[in-house]
Structure 1
Amino acid sequence: MEVNDVDEEEFGFSRNYFLAKELGTSGEKSTRKLADIDLVDEQELRTAASNIEPKHEKEIASLMNSYRSLYSKWVFELRCGFGLLMYGFGSKKALIEDFASTALTESAVVVINGYLHSINIKQVAIALAEVLWDQLKSQRKSSLGNLPKVQQPFNSRSMDDLLAFLDGPHMGVDECYICVVIHNIDGPGLRDSDTQQYIARIAACSHIRMVASLDHVNAPLLWDKKMVHTQFKWCWYHVPTFAPYKVEGIFFPLILAHGGTTQSVKTASIVLQSLTPNAQSVFKVLAEHQLANPDEEGMAINNLYTICRERFLVSSQTTLNSHLTEFKDHELVKTRRHSDGQDCLYIPLTTEALEKLVLEISQ
């Protein structure tokens, strides 16, 4: 009898609970909208984030020193033809660049910033071929006739021809190789299947050694067994650094924040600081022309080349094209068709933002 009373009491309590929920929500609807959210300025949010005091600095410094003891092992594995893949919590950018600048001084190093949203993989292959060509010439000054017969320039060659040149045996200089550093090989500009296939083919070339970092938990799904074991030949290293993704995060908008002129200038300024002084000067020429001619659709490439040549900023059209490719990869410069049918260059910033940017790079 008592058990039944308890069951009825529990049943009545649960029934009343669900009835109360139905009555409380049936006649009320939320009037709140996403548009009502007061978004914080992105620059203010980034400034606040940058002012957060770092913790455990001594422990992190000790951790980084422990990784430096592995540098000699990493160099040995690269020489044996393996690739190095760094993973773990925190940005690996500073760690890999420190390794490249201190332990890879005997070979050429080409850096690819995979965290950028657009990367032209063929331009990467062209750059690697040009670097290898320069290395071969420097090693064979006394016997230039033995150099491989490759028609110049490389930008007119197909992707298969470029890969064949990077992979070909060049008469006794198999020890000559280029180290390719890829920050975030799982970045947004490299995630598609075709690009990953080309990166794997580049990594498999005899004159290429690859060091890369990844951060996405599903990044290994980008590769099949052949790519991992035969082409990349990864040696996996768990190297958590606990470092903030300051540089990588600049190219991604913050949640609940809106951008502005200040943020656009700051982002462009940080990108320009990573480029060479000559590249900055070329960008400044284009920016000054755009400010002086606000009604024009852009600046013709030939005009830009003439001015840069007169100011000794570039020595050839190829050099200018390499700068422009870098600008386009970083989304600093875009191309559009002029009314007369000619392609012209323009900087996708407002006049106010462009004026501030010119002042910053002039300092």
Structure 2
Amino acid sequence: MDVNEAVDEEEFGFSRNYFLAKELRGSAKKSGGKLSDLKLVDEQELRDATSKLETKHEKEIVALMESYKSQYYQWAFELRCGFGLLMYGFGSKKALIEDFASTALTEYGVVVINGYLQSINLKHVVIAMAEILSDQLKLKRKSQQPFSSKSLDDLLIFLDGSHMKESDCFVCVVIHNIDGPGLRELETQQILSRLASCSYVRIVASIDHVNAPLLWDKKMVHTQFNWSWYHVPTFAPYKVEGVFFPLILASGGTAQNAKTALIVLQSLTPNAQSVFKVLAEHQVAHPDEEGMPVNDLYTICRERFLVSSQITLNSHLTEFKDHDLVKTRRHADGQDCLYIPLTSEALEKLLQEIG
């Protein structure tokens, strides 16, 4: 047998074995297992176990973070020149950016947006920025319309400052995860790009999603955001950012839902927490009802001196809805009712936590 015949025989044997294996596998009994049959660990247990993992290469990570501090002067200089800073790389950049802001931007006003939250009210952010800028420029506003009553366009015009005298001050917006779920909408990114192009505004942002640049067109990147890109891998765990996302290997459940709601509530004012508590207690006491009518909630909150007017209550409800803590549905009699999208078990646990 010559060499060619030997090669052909070998290839024939390989092909025959391949198709034989395919045939046997196809005739085998298929598994009756389902994805829903998997026994997943409780999310809280998984997070506790993850938090106990030892951090490796601590010295190297500390040295890496220290090396970035030598660039703070350059970053601040680029902000003063009108550029925006965009940080990317493996690991959470939250601590790094906040350290930079607290170290190199102390003479400027700083507003923080946590893009990893599920929903964000940009109007409130822009109002806060306008108030900070007004204080920095020492503008007299006693007789003028308050910022909270102005439209978003008017606020952006004020921050652009074309009508004001030149000044080297600006308000810096720190955006953790500008590619986060609460900021991914096209309309939101367009507002942010308009904000970035304002004369008295500078942006420092981080991205983590591999397709994050697809959020912007050429004009937004080069003209409005005017990004200066920096590769700053930190290898730090996404501890804070990860709280708001379910783990793949975990079952989630009522405990995690209550924990996420508690984290959001703790960031609100005591009065807002008390208003939420009224609604939660009503839902636990009346689990079969569609929800709590807005008028009933206002009456109870007014009696307990939690709100002074319907406008105050509406501002709390807007905050709840922005964070998906409260939803609205139509009752059979036609009136709107408020309800909390949590099970009775999760609500009871939440009420215990907020006292």
- Normalising by structure 1, report the TM-score: 0.83
State how far apart, in whole Å, the 1-side matches of 2:111 and 2:159 are.
Answer: 14
State how far apart, in whole Å, the 2-side matches of 1:258 and 1:11 are.
Answer: 48
Work out whether residues 129 and 166 of structure 1, in 8 Å CA contact, stay in contact via their aligned partners in 2. no
Work out whether residues 171 and 201 of structure 2, in 8 Å CA contact, stay in contact via their aligned partners in 1. yes
Cα deviation, 1:255-275, whole Å, max 9, x if unaligned, reads 243221211122222333344
Cα deviation, 1:222-244, whole Å, max 9, x if unaligned, reads 22222112111112121111111
The residue number in structure 1 matching 2:54 is 53
State how far apart, in whole Å, the 2-side matches of 1:309 and 1:58 are.
Answer: 56
State how far apart, in whole Å, the 2-side matches of 1:106 and 1:323 are.
Answer: 32
Matched residue pairs, number? 354
Note closer, same or farther for the CA distance 1:51–1:205 as it changes in structure 2 (3 Å cut): same
C-alpha deviation, 1:87, in angstroms = 0.7
Note closer, same or farther for the CA distance 1:5–1:224 as it changes in structure 2 (3 Å cut): closer
> SS in structure 1 opposite 2:46?
helix
Residue 128 (structure 1) aligned with residue 146 (structure 2)? no
C-alpha deviation, 1:214, in angstroms = 0.2
* Bigger shift: residues 12-21 or 310-319: 310-319
Aligned-pair Cα RMSD in Å:
3.2
Structure 1 segment 28-177 matched on structure 2, within 5 A: 28-32=28-32, 33-119=34-120, 123-133=121-131, 135-136=133-134, 139-140=137-138, 143-144=140-141, 151-152=145-146, 154=148, 157=151, 159-172=152-165, 174-177=167-170
Cα deviation, 1:95-131, whole Å, max 9, x if unaligned, reads 2223333443333332222223333xxx413531354
Cα deviation, 1:18-59, whole Å, max 9, x if unaligned, reads 353244224224224323333333333222222222112222
- Runs of 5+ unmatched residues, structure 1: none
> SS in structure 2 opposite 1:217?
coil
- Which one of the candidate residues 323, 327, 334 is aligned to 1:334? 327
Note closer, same or farther for the CA distance 1:49–1:24 as it changes in structure 2 (3 Å cut): same
- Which one of the candidate residues 234, 255, 258 is aligned to 2:248? 255
C-alpha deviation, 1:180, in angstroms = 1.5
Structure 1 segment 198-277 matched on structure 2, within 5 A: 198-277=191-270
State how far apart, in whole Å, the 1-side matches of 2:98 and 2:126 are.
Answer: 18
Work out whether residues 133 and 171 of structure 2, in 8 Å CA contact, stay in contact via their aligned partners in 1. no
Note closer, same or farther for the CA distance 1:9–1:296 as it changes in structure 2 (3 Å cut): closer
Note closer, same or farther for the CA distance 1:175–1:228 as it changes in structure 2 (3 Å cut): same
Cα deviation, 1:241-290, whole Å, max 9, x if unaligned, reads 11111222233232243221211122222333344545444433433343
Work out whether residues 264 and 353 of structure 1, in 8 Å CA contact, stay in contact via their aligned partners in 2. yes
- Which one of the candidate residues 345, 350, 353 is aligned to 1:352? 345
State how far apart, in whole Å, the 2-side matches of 1:102 and 1:324 are.
Answer: 36
Work out whether residues 116 and 329 of structure 1, in 8 Å CA contact, stay in contact via their aligned partners in 2. no
State how far apart, in whole Å, the 1-side matches of 2:99 and 2:303 are.
Answer: 37
Note closer, same or farther for the CA distance 1:275–1:72 as it changes in structure 2 (3 Å cut): farther
Question: Which letter maps to 2:87?
Answer: M
> SS in structure 2 opposite 1:209?
strand
The residue number in structure 2 matching 1:191 is 184
> SS in structure 2 opposite 1:86?
strand
State how far apart, in whole Å, the 1-side matches of 2:36 and 2:73 are.
Answer: 55
State how far apart, in whole Å, the 2-side matches of 1:309 and 1:108 are.
Answer: 36
State how far apart, in whole Å, the 2-side matches of 1:61 and 1:4 are.
Answer: 62
Work out whether residues 39 and 258 of structure 1, in 8 Å CA contact, stay in contact via their aligned partners in 2. yes
> SS in structure 1 opposite 2:24?
helix
State how far apart, in whole Å, the 1-side matches of 2:199 and 2:130 are.
Answer: 11
Residue 20 (structure 1) aligned with residue 29 (structure 2)? no
> SS in structure 2 opposite 1:197?
helix
Note closer, same or farther for the CA distance 1:210–1:296 as it changes in structure 2 (3 Å cut): same
Note closer, same or farther for the CA distance 1:156–1:299 as it changes in structure 2 (3 Å cut): farther
Identity, in percent, stands at: 67
Note closer, same or farther for the CA distance 1:329–1:247 as it changes in structure 2 (3 Å cut): farther
> SS in structure 2 opposite 1:198?
helix
